[in-house]
Amino acid sequence: MEGIVLKTIDYKEKSKLVYLYTKAGLISVKALDANKTKLGFVTTLNQVEFEMTSGKLPTVTEYSLKKSFYSIYENLTKVGVLTPILDVIFHLEEGVNHSRIYSFLIQTINELLATEEPYMVLSVFLVKMLAVFGIKPELKKCVHCSRTTLVNFSSLDGGALCDSCSIYHEKNCNLLNDFQQLYYVKDYQNLSLNLTYNEILDEIYQYYAIHANFKLKEYHL
C-alpha cells in the first residue's frame, strides 16, 4: 500500500501510532520500535510504500521510502500553510473519492515544495476541495436567479451574483474572478490573481466558516 504520513503520536514505549493518507482513505498503523527501525516511516510528509498486518489497529511490517518532502520544513511559511491543508484531509467524510484526493494532495505538496508562493498553493487547494465537501461555490451563474451577467461573489450566498441580486453588496468582480481562477486552474503558473493573498484567504476562510460542517484550522499571513 502507498501513503503519505500526516501525523505521528507516541504509542506505548518506543512505538508510534502513524496516521497516513492513502488512496483508500485515512488509516492509522502501529510502528513498533519506531525510533530505531522505522524512522523513515514516522516522519511527517514522507511518502511510503508499506505492508501491514490485518486487524483493527494494524502494525507496519515493512516499508520503503518513496519520496521525502522534508525540505518543506526549511520554510516556515510552507510549514504554516500545511496546517489547513492537512486539517482538510483529516476532515474528509466517508464515501469521497480518496484515490483522486490522494493524487491531488501529492500534487499540492509537490507544488508547495517547488513554489515561491505558498499562499497560492494553499488557496488553490482550499478552493478546489470545497467540491469534495459538497459546498462548491456557484461560479458560472447567479446563485439566486441563474443570470450569467455576473458582477460579484458572496461567501454568504455561496457564489456569484448578478447585478440585480447584489444590490446589497459592494460590487467585487475581482473576488469572483479570483475564485474562478483558483477553482478551475490547471497550471499554477497561469494564475494571475487580482486580490492580495491576505484578502483572498480571508474570504476562503469565511466561506469554510459559513458552509463547512467543521472548524478549519486557519493559517494567516
* Nearer Cβ to Zn ion (91/144): 144
CA-based nearest residue to 42, from 6, 80, 74, 90: 6
| Smallest gap from residue 168 Cβ to Zn ion (A) | 12
Query: How many Cβ atoms are within 10 Å of 74's Cβ, its own excluded?
Result: 8
Q: Which of 165, 175, 182, 193 binds Zn ion (CB under 5 A)?
A: 165
For Zn ion, the binding residue among 145, 173, 210, 221 (CB under 5 A) is: 145
| Rg of the chain, C-alpha, whole Å | 20
- Do strands 2-11 and 15-22 pair parallel, antiparallel, or not at all (unpaired)? antiparallel
CA-based nearest residue to 33, from 5, 61, 56: 61
Q: In angstroms, what is the minimal distance from the CB of 54 to Zn ion? A: 55
H/E stretch holding 162: strand 159-162
For Zn ion, which residue of 7, 144, 169, 211 counts as binding (CB under 5 A)? 144
In sequence order, the 6+-apart residues with CB closer than 8 A to the CB of 138 are 158, 159, 160
User: Is there binding between residue 149 and Zn ion (CB under 5 A)?
Assistant: no
CB 25, min distance to Zn ion, A: 39
Q: Which neighbouring-strand residues pair with 26?
A: 21
**76 versus 156: smaller Cβ distance to Zn ion:** 156
Q: Which is nearer to Zn ion, 24 or 145 (CB)?
A: 145
Residue 176 in the binding site for Zn ion (CB under 5 A): no
> Using the rule CB under 5 A, is 160 a contact of Zn ion?
no
Told to check if 151 binds Zn ion by CB under 5 A, we report no
Least distance in Å: CB of 170 to Zn ion? 16
Query: What residues from 123 to 142 belong to the interface with Zn ion (CB under 5 A)?
Result: 142
For the chain, the straight-line distance linking the first and the last C-alpha, in angstroms and rounded, comes to: 36
Binding residues for Zn ion (CB under 5 A): 142, 144-145, 147, 162, 165
